[in-house]
Structure 1
Amino acid sequence: MQFLTRTVWWVIPVIWLPVVCWCVSRSFMMGHTLPEIATMVITGIFVWTLLEYTLHRFLFHIKTKSYWGNTAHYLLHGCHHKHPMDGLRLVFPPAATAILCIPFWNLVLLLATPSTAPALFGGGLLGYVMYDCTHYYLHHGQPSKDPARNLKRYHLNHHFRIQNKGFGITSSLWDRVFVTLPPPKGYDKS
């Protein structure tokens, strides 16, 4: 089953950006103006950042005890922590993303109007694409300037220093809100 967890990074934008464009265009064809659509897309991206934090903290770092629970956790996220520099385990496989999109699309349809749902969902999906590409870059890119350099330091701190803090990937916003910022380096816990 491990072969299902391996994906090259560029597959994510190739597959999902056309879906984002289609979703956003649906809201446009239903009569929304460009400023309205921009607001919906930005809202979708913002909601994604909370979802990114929540999934990483509560699902990807769930404590499991059974064989099948441990296996599922390892395939979902444990293999990434065991091999953090494996370039084929840094983005979420498209088939799994497609499966997860179904309940999220239905949730957006439930909470939004039929004409705003596509752009909101498209914004969330764009946030996901940005997240996965950022995640790959943080592991394999060599940023020389902030904020990317600080974000790389922040994320690698989660991998190599304190794994139960610093769950945000694209920002530390929700770690600040939910008090899961890692302590400064050299901090004495006593």
Structure 2
Amino acid sequence: MVAQGFVVDLNKPLVFQVGHLGEAYDEWVHQPIVSREGPRFFANDVMEALTRTVWWVIPTIWIPVVCYFAAMSARMGLVIPEVVSLLFLGVFLWTLVEYTLHRFLFHIKTTSYWGNTAHYLLHGCHHKHPMDGLRLVFPPAATAILLVPFWNFVKLLSTPTTAPALFAGGLLGYVMYDCTHYYLHHGQPSNEVPKHLKKYHMNHHFRIQHKGYGITSSLWDRVFGTLPPSKEAKKSR
């Protein structure tokens, strides 16, 4: 790919190349390469390994943490129905966080060297290589770092007894999101709901990449007007 005189060599580690694309980066990164074999990111083997995560690591690590924080609220005196209600609320709030991050951070347009590089690491790589199965979920080390400010934010919004259960619900929502995201790319759903979600998300990757930011549902796309138009609607224009 030639952009502004710079050639991205797909046979070499990509992360420190893509920044040189400048203003052409956004167009380049939204031209997907459909291959199950992902590219190499870094020449350093340790850094490269940190970018690869198998999907089942996410529930294995984080579901016990969800249970721990939910139990913390129960130990502080909340009854089980209250804990469950807060878990559901946390999951619901996560869907808004999911939409907001995807729309305003993951799809931010960058042109500088470090801006392009950071965006590629965060989300651009997923649009360039959407079938890379080892980079579909967020690395646990990065998640652990981000959970610290998230926990402090939840504590500001709630009481000491409700904060752990609400935090647990948000974390559960994240686990559901990451596992759903992997399934939408690599699963073969037979039921109507997951089939619709898969079609909805593939539409975001391959047809209208600036619409359809929801992963686990299209709720917030409907609320905020980013629902992609149907093929029939586009043909009638």
TM-score grouping bracket, smaller chain normalisation: over 0.9
Give the Cα separation in 2 of the matches to 1:125 and 1:140. 23
Matched, 1:167 2:210: no
Query: Counterpart of 1:56 in structure 2: which amino acid?
Result: H
Give the Cα separation in 1 of the matches to 2:149 and 2:177. 19
- The 5-angstrom pairing of residues 40-189 of structure 1 reads 40-186=86-232, 187-188=234-235
Give the Cα separation in 1 of the matches to 2:112 and 2:127. 19
Q: Which moved more, 1:164-173 or 1:88-97?
A: 88-97
Give the Cα separation in 1 of the matches to 2:236 and 2:135. 33
- Structure number with larger C-alpha Rg: 2
TM-score, normalized by length of structure 2?
Answer: 0.78
Give the Cα separation in 2 of the matches to 1:174 and 1:29. 34
Give the Cα separation in 2 of the matches to 1:129 and 1:189. 40
**Cα offset, 1:89, TM superposition:** 1.1
TM-score, normalized by length of structure 1?
Answer: 0.97
Q: Deviations for 1:60-82, whole angstroms, at most 9, x for unmatched residues?
A: 00001110000000011000111
Q: Deviations for 1:108-157, whole angstroms, at most 9, x for unmatched residues?
A: 00110011000000000000000000000000000011100000000000
**What percentage of aligned pairs have identical amino acids?**
74
Give the Cα separation in 2 of the matches to 1:91 and 1:154. 19
Q: Paired residues, what number?
A: 190
**Cα offset, 1:163, TM superposition:** 0.4
Q: Which runs of 5+ in 1 are unaligned?
A: none
Give the Cα separation in 2 of the matches to 1:6 and 1:66. 26
Give the Cα separation in 2 of the matches to 1:143 and 1:113. 40
Give the Cα separation in 2 of the matches to 1:39 and 1:181. 29
Runs of 4 or more consecutive aligned structure 1 residues displaced over 6 Å after TM superposition: none
**Cα offset, 1:189, TM superposition:** 7.7
Given that 1:5 and 1:76 are in contact with CA atoms closer than 8 Å, whether structure 2 keeps it comes out as no
Query: Counterpart of 2:187 in structure 1: which amino acid?
Result: G
Specify the alignment match of 2:28 in structure 1.
none
